[in-house]
Chain A
Amino acid sequence: MPKILAVDDSASMRQMVTFTLKGAGFEVEEAADGQQALNIAKTSGFDLVLSDVNMPVMDGIQLVKELRALAEYKFTPILMLTTESASDKKVEGKQAGATGWIVKPFNPDQLLNTIKKVLG
């Protein structure tokens, strides 16, 4: 089953995302900020990275840049979780190399649909 790395500094969001994805049969690992995510990503491979933008220590944009610089993550889909009010973040994310975005707030079904599309 595809393996997904879920990155968000909000524990409730992480729980929701993990619960949803695991329920759909994906393997999920969690990270609370970009740095943690990067460390985990380096030690284990993922088929998709799902990351919040605003996080302490290392934000989502920087995470995308760092991941894209790694050979293993050159083509891996990376989806950003953004809010509708932060449209400039979408652009920034794209420039950094993000695949796409999911707009917050989203519900579990929307999340799952998008992820299945990307991994489909």
Chain B
Amino acid sequence: MSIDLSQFHQVFFEESFEGLDSMEGGLLDLNPDDFDVETINTIFRAAHSIKGGAGTFGFQVVADFTHVVETLLDEIRAGSRALEAPHVDVLLRSVDCLRDIMQALQDGDEPDMSTADTLKAEFVAILSGASECTPESAVSPDSNLDESDGASDETPSGHWEIYFKPDADVLRTGNEPVRMFRELESLGRLTTEVVVCDVPAFSSLEPETCYFAWNLTLEGGSREEVDEVFEWVIDESELSIRWVHGGLTESAKNTTQSPPATTTDNNQQPVESGSTSVDDSAPTKEMLSEPEADLPEPEQELESKPVEAVVSSAASVAGDKKTESPKKPQKSSSPESTSIRVGIDKIDSLINMVGELVITQSMLGQLGSDFDMGKLVRLQEGLAQLEQNTRELQESVMRIRMLPISFTFSRFPRLVRDLSKAMDKKIDLVLLGENTELDKTVMEKIGDPMVHLIRNSLDHGIEKPADRLAAGKPETGTITLNAFHQGGNIVIQIIDDGKGLDRDRILMKAIENGLVSKDDNLTDEQIYELIFHAGFSTAETISDISGRGVGMDVVRRNIQELNGSVEVQSMPGEGSTFTIRLPLTLAILDGQLVRVGEEVFILPLVSIVESLQVDLGMINNVGGNNEVLRLRNEYVPIVKLHELLDVEPENYELEKGLLVVVEGDNSKVGLFVDDLLAQQQVVIKSLEQNYQKVDGISGATILGDGKVALIVDISGVLRIASKVKGKPVSADHQAA
């Protein structure tokens, strides 16, 4: 029988990555001078599991490398080696290295072992210090046995003579001598002779104790096979195994004298021996018929099979046929999205909901089969119940995709540790709200922007220890990551107690870059906002950490792609707070339905600033056809949605319709529509997958009446509006 082990690879990789995370977390908590043994145990266990799994599932390179890691951890755990700071470093680097190797293996690539080899050498150097635990010493008990007398099982004339006296407690370990004899019997013809001289008087006999010893002769089997039968009991038993040349009859005499004198008290008594034979029908034969030599080598079988990752992304509500081809191993760009672990409580609640839905459905079905107006109230009740079921079901399904943000937060302690070391800064990282849940896809995409913001706080925010002391602050700075839910959004804050944003430098730089003019009378908030503009960087020297020109504008754009926003507050000398707001999920959008002619479009509610009826006095004409709305002290360009999307409107005159002012990418625009309709949550369907990409449209949804409505992409509209500078657009794309 051969089982395809590759089916377990995905789970193995997942748990290994988790194990590596917990190793990393544990290592970061380790203070060489004062540490909790349980922390070491946790780290050790993770390494141990990875090694065991890697060996089993055929990733020998991982098993080999983890072995040295584990050995060092084991010595520290056992107390035979003191933990030193360099150990933590080399262990942390091993975690990184293992992560890379596993990632490569998961992607079906050949892992680069050069780092591992270097690290291995470091481990060997450490271990060769005063190691007590050499892995090589751990060998199977077979090697204790004298193999020299091991005759070949092919030798025709000869047999094994075995004296076996198991420990009195053998039965209490679940070992059955009879089971061993059956196993021996599968190797060749077996005769057994039981030695009962140790059996006490009945009154003092303990039924759980084994008083017997056996003389066995076995015609067949190799020494190894015989040893294997006794492998589990060899240490506690008296066992002698001898190869006797010649026929059995001749040696039969030998057996009676062969038991070594073990029973001193009973010596006077004649040895009572009774001949027994183990169940001749030997039903075990067929079970044991597969010799080990025939087993397939797992490594060879597995290494040639790349892991086939089934990619499922959150946005792909509709199935993509291409991913179904089994021949092509998908080189997934985000292998972490291949599967999701869901708490059983979530599944239970889902099943519960479905149960209720079924009840409602059958109730409605019954009602429908013989409906008359007298039952209208019950119908309405049933529909209300259906609505509630649906909503609860939707919430339950959404919760499946939600994971605690600690999955993202957990990578930051390491980042902060490494960076603060590199920059000679002292920084405490505080994590708050780690259990706040967030959609898995959003979570995967928010990691990088957060890394950038944290690097930024480390680099530009927190001062060097000397500067902090001079400013009367504690030497160690603090960066706090905070996550919480707020009205259908998740809010993530990155708070530092550093020097705050430098208002004057930002302003100077912005004027230099022509972002603002000297005469603009800007508030502090507006000035701080400038850091999110493209190409803005105030770092004096380009450091390794940040200030490489890939600036805050990229951060903001990435967050906006998730329908989120980012803003900054800052107090000179006291620090800065970056606040990211994100929708809980990407699959559902809070939308404002608007009507243009016959068509209904959806605007993301989050980007709407206000909606107003236009008074012509508020409209200015700039440069010919460019209309702008004067909104208090701002000028907002007007974009007519019907022109942009090429649909027939009800009204062409601004004063007859409505303007919806939307904001995105730091600018505002007034969208001209005929009417505002309801606000509702809509399920986003991908237009790209079902049709094609359309500029200015981010997706589509199906409304209650079954019609398709397009969701307006605010950033896209703003881009189009700025490109054409207000000129009427003849849109290339029909609204589908």
Interface set of A (CB-CB < 8 Å, partner B) = 9-13, 15-16, 19-20, 23-24, 52, 54-56, 68, 74-78, 81, 83-87, 91, 94, 97-101, 103-110, 112-113, 116-118, 120
Q: Cβ of B372 < 8 Å from any Cβ of A?
A: no
> Are A12 and B232 closer than 8 Å at their CB atoms?
no
Would you give 24 A-B contacts (Cβ < 8 Å), ordered by A? A10-B49, A11-B11, A12-B8, A12-B57, A15-B11, A16-B56, A52-B52, A54-B48, A55-B45, A68-B172, A75-B208, A77-B174, A77-B175, A85-B70, A85-B135, A94-B235, A99-B232, A105-B56, A107-B5, A110-B292, A110-B295, A116-B287, A117-B287, A120-B288
**Cα–Cα distance between A10 and B50 once the two chains are bound (Å):** 9
> Are A109 and B173 closer than 8 Å at their CB atoms?
no
Write the nearest CB–CB distance from B686 to chain A, whole angstroms. Answer: 32
B298 contacts across to A, CB distance below 8 A? 105, 107
User: Do A56 and B42 form a contact, CB below 8 Å, given A10-B15, A97-B172, A101-B232?
Assistant: yes
A74 contacts across to B, CB distance below 8 A? 172, 208
Q: Cβ of B3 < 8 Å from any Cβ of A?
A: yes
User: Do A56 and B287 form a contact, CB below 8 Å, given A15-B11, A98-B173?
Assistant: no
> Are A84 and B138 closer than 8 Å at their CB atoms?
yes
Q: Cβ of B182 < 8 Å from any Cβ of A?
A: yes
**Cα–Cα distance between A19 and B56 once the two chains are bound (Å):** 14
Interface set of B (CB-CB < 8 Å, partner A) = 1-3, 5, 7-9, 11-12, 14-15, 42, 44-45, 48-49, 51-57, 63, 67, 70-71, 135, 137-140, 171-175, 179, 182-183, 208, 231-232, 235-236, 283-284, 287-288, 290, 292, 295-296, 298
B140 contacts across to A, CB distance below 8 A? 84, 103
> Are A94 and B236 closer than 8 Å at their CB atoms?
yes
> Are A120 and B182 closer than 8 Å at their CB atoms?
yes
Nearest CB to that of B169 among chain A residues? A97
> Are A13 and B52 closer than 8 Å at their CB atoms?
yes
> Are B49 and A75 closer than 8 Å at their CB atoms?
no
A81 contacts across to B, CB distance below 8 A? 52
Q: Which of A86, A108, A109 contacts B138 (CB 8 A)?
A: A86
4 further interface pairs, Cβ-Cβ under 8 Å (given A76-B174, A101-B232, A117-B284): A12-B12, A84-B140, A94-B236, A105-B298
5 closest cross-chain pairs (CB), A and B: A105-B55, A100-B232, A99-B174, A12-B12, A77-B174
Write the nearest CB–CB distance from B70 to chain A, whole angstroms. Answer: 7
> Are A54 and B49 closer than 8 Å at their CB atoms?
yes
> Are A107 and B15 closer than 8 Å at their CB atoms?
no
Nearest CB to that of A16 among chain B residues? B8
Write the nearest CB–CB distance from A10 to chain B, whole angstroms. Answer: 5
Q: Which of A52, A76, A113 contacts B290 (CB 8 A)?
A: A113
> Are A56 and B45 closer than 8 Å at their CB atoms?
yes
> Are A75 and B172 closer than 8 Å at their CB atoms?
yes
A84 contacts across to B, CB distance below 8 A? 138-140
**Cα–Cα distance between A15 and B1 once the two chains are bound (Å):** 17
Write the nearest CB–CB distance from A58 to chain B, whole angstroms. Answer: 12
B70 contacts across to A, CB distance below 8 A? 85
Q: Which of A11, A106, A120 contacts B56 (CB 8 A)?
A: A106
**Cα–Cα distance between A30 and B292 once the two chains are bound (Å):** 27
**Cα–Cα distance between A78 and B232 once the two chains are bound (Å):** 11
**Cα–Cα distance between A100 and B42 once the two chains are bound (Å):** 26
> Are B139 and A87 closer than 8 Å at their CB atoms?
yes
**Cα–Cα distance between A38 and B290 once the two chains are bound (Å):** 33
**Cα–Cα distance between A19 and B11 once the two chains are bound (Å):** 13
> Are A78 and B5 closer than 8 Å at their CB atoms?
no
B172 contacts across to A, CB distance below 8 A? 68, 74-75, 97
> Are B5 and A83 closer than 8 Å at their CB atoms?
no
**Cα–Cα distance between A19 and B12 once the two chains are bound (Å):** 14
Nearest CB to that of B44 among chain A residues? A54
> Are B15 and A12 closer than 8 Å at their CB atoms?
yes
Write the nearest CB–CB distance from A3 to chain B, whole angstroms. Answer: 15
> Are B231 and A83 closer than 8 Å at their CB atoms?
no
**Cα–Cα distance between A117 and B53 once the two chains are bound (Å):** 24
B14 contacts across to A, CB distance below 8 A? 11
**Cα–Cα distance between A99 and B9 once the two chains are bound (Å):** 30
User: Do A75 and B52 form a contact, CB below 8 Å, given A85-B138, A112-B1, A120-B179?
Assistant: no
User: Do A109 and B45 form a contact, CB below 8 Å, given A12-B15, A85-B135?
Assistant: no
> Are A107 and B45 closer than 8 Å at their CB atoms?
no
B71 contacts across to A, CB distance below 8 A? 85
**Cα–Cα distance between A82 and B171 once the two chains are bound (Å):** 22
Nearest CB to that of B208 among chain A residues? A74
A15 contacts across to B, CB distance below 8 A? 8, 11
Which among A23, A84, A85 has the highest number of chain B CB atoms within 10 Å? A85
B296 contacts across to A, CB distance below 8 A? 107, 109
**Cα–Cα distance between A101 and B174 once the two chains are bound (Å):** 12
> Are A108 and B236 closer than 8 Å at their CB atoms?
no
Q: Which of A9, A11, A16, A85 contacts B45 (CB 8 A)?
A: A9
A9 contacts across to B, CB distance below 8 A? 45, 49
Nearest CB to that of A112 among chain B residues? B1
**Cα–Cα distance between A41 and B363 once the two chains are bound (Å):** 43
B173 contacts across to A, CB distance below 8 A? 78, 94, 97-99
A86 contacts across to B, CB distance below 8 A? 138
A24 contacts across to B, CB distance below 8 A? 1
**Cα–Cα distance between A50 and B7 once the two chains are bound (Å):** 21
Write the nearest CB–CB distance from B408 to chain A, whole angstroms. Answer: 22
> Are B175 and A105 closer than 8 Å at their CB atoms?
no
> Are A83 and B232 closer than 8 Å at their CB atoms?
no
Which among B7, B49, B70, B298 has the highest number of chain A CB atoms within 10 Å? B49
Write the nearest CB–CB distance from B224 to chain A, whole angstroms. Answer: 15
Q: Which of B49, B57, B67, B179 contacts A85 (CB 8 A)?
A: B67
Write the nearest CB–CB distance from B27 to chain A, whole angstroms. Answer: 17
**Cα–Cα distance between A11 and B12 once the two chains are bound (Å):** 7
Nearest CB to that of A9 among chain B residues? B49
